[in-house]
Amino acid sequence: MRDQHPAPWPAPTATGPLSWTQRVPGSKSMTNRALVLAALGDSPSVLRGALRSRDSELMCAALRALGAGVRVNEARPDVVEVTPGPLRSARVDCGLAGTVMRFLPPLAALAEGPVDFDGDAQARTRPMRPLLDALRDLGVEVTGDALPFRVTGRAAGDVGGTVTVDASGSSQFVSGLLLAAPRFGRGITVRHRGAALPSLPHIEMTVDMLRRAGATVHAGHEEWRVEPGALAGGEWEIEPDLSNATPFLAAALVSGGTVTIPGWPAATTQAGDHFRRIATAMGGTVVRTPDAVSITGPADGRLHGVELDMSEIGELTPTVAALATLASTESHLYGIAHLRGHETDRLAALRAEITALGGRCAETPDGLRISPSTTLHGGTWRSYADHRMATAGAIIGLRVPGVRIDDVATTAKTLPGFAHMWEAMVRG
């Protein structure tokens, strides 16, 4: 069990331009999607480059409980072997992992027997009802509207069809339905109806990975149809997690130095790839080579504020908000009202922590407005058990001495060893 009261971590301050190359582990989003598809496959699969973190461990444990064989290679922990098995009654611990709580209820609908879901105390406040109502509309018995809840499946041939879901709270509602759809006897058509659909690149990733597994997917405007059919086992090469790379690239912008991330894919559906254009807009220089991305910060240390619609790339908001706090002109980040339902209310959390350090940050109906401040100072930065809040505080600490992160260990959710990596980068 993690220490519930860890000593605050003193975020190191950069004393000059950084020069660093940082490898980051595999994408959490790709790892957990690949694990689900492998568990539903018609033959065994192998994941290479898989992420080992709290979120992925929770997914592995849940799939084992549901009947899949999931074995981590002892010599190569980033290699995971998955053997499909009959889905059965189970108890699933979601922790605080959105991918577990949103991807596995549709899969549980195919199990023989009830499947009970629960998770961390904070997880019980995260939006779930649109997904659970969608399952009900597809003929699945669901008890409860949020964690804890129970899903009782029916014979696969009897479920499926067309469902309308308001996914404005999370694109994971759509992805969860699509990932299991090939195993539903009538397939699934998902239509989004509601406010703006956030994080579209994540749905594009789901569609791409389904097709790579052999599924037939028809994608239209806010509507997706997955035909019933088999999913092929095979090998999955997991890309580095580009969203987890962004704090390190942000360190280059803050320090006026250069940070390189090797293994950057030539083409990707990851939202983190968008950080290249954001870095340019904020005054950085981006160099793309066949196998890496390098970012160099402005030599004078002056970052430009930005006006950004972040509706498709909301997970980058804490990194960009930290940079905006240190910028010389105002920033407006919008299209991210859905972040109020993430690991914590990220908009309220960012406003509270930035202003607590002397920054100027105000919430808008769908985002944040961050203005330059000459009164930034050290203090305790609360992480709210949110990995991206913790890394945002570390970015500000590069320039503001005395910043302490109250629970840096929460970064193990998607990036184990973050503090060690960060300290090594700053030491050079």
pLDDT digits (tens, 9 = 90+) for 220-229: 999 999 999 9
Beta bridge partners of 79: 48
Rounded to whole angstroms, the Cα distance separating 81 from 107 reads 19
pLDDT band at 153 (very low <50, low <70, confident <90, very high): confident
pLDDT band at 1 (very low <50, low <70, confident <90, very high): very low
**pLDDT over 70, % of the chain:** 98
Average pLDDT over residues 304-318: 97
315 carries an active-site annotation: yes
> Residue 2: its pLDDT value, please?
41
> Residue 425: its pLDDT value, please?
98
pLDDT digits (tens, 9 = 90+) for 346-400: 999 999 999 999 999 999 999 999 999 999 999 999 999 999 999 999 999 999 9
Q: Which residues are annotated as a binding site for 3-phosphoshikimate?
A: 28-29, 33, 170-172, 199, 315, 342
Mean pLDDT, rounded, of the chain: 96
> Residue 183: its pLDDT value, please?
96
**Are the C-beta atoms of residues 372 and 328 closer than 8 Å to each other?**
yes
Q: Which class for 349: exposed (0-12), middle (13-18), buried (19 or more C-beta within 10 A)?
A: buried
For residue 157, pLDDT over 90 is answered with no
pLDDT band at 170 (very low <50, low <70, confident <90, very high): very high
pLDDT digits (tens, 9 = 90+) for 24-58: 999 999 999 999 999 999 999 999 999 999 999 99
Average pLDDT over residues 112-124: 96
CA angle at residue 231 from 229 to 233, to 5 degrees? 155
State both tokens at 393: 């505080």
Q: Can you give the C-alpha Rg of the chain in angstroms?
A: 21
For residue 3, pLDDT over 60 is answered with no
Question: Which residues lie closer than 8 Å to 277 by C-beta, 6 or more apart?
Answer: none
Average pLDDT over residues 162-178: 97
Q: What one-character DSSP code corresponds to residue 218?
A: E
pLDDT band at 66 (very low <50, low <70, confident <90, very high): very high
**pLDDT over 90, % of the chain:** 95
Catalytic residue among 315, 343, 353, 363: 315
pLDDT digits (tens, 9 = 90+) for 331-348: 999 999 999 988 889 999
> Residue 297: its pLDDT value, please?
98
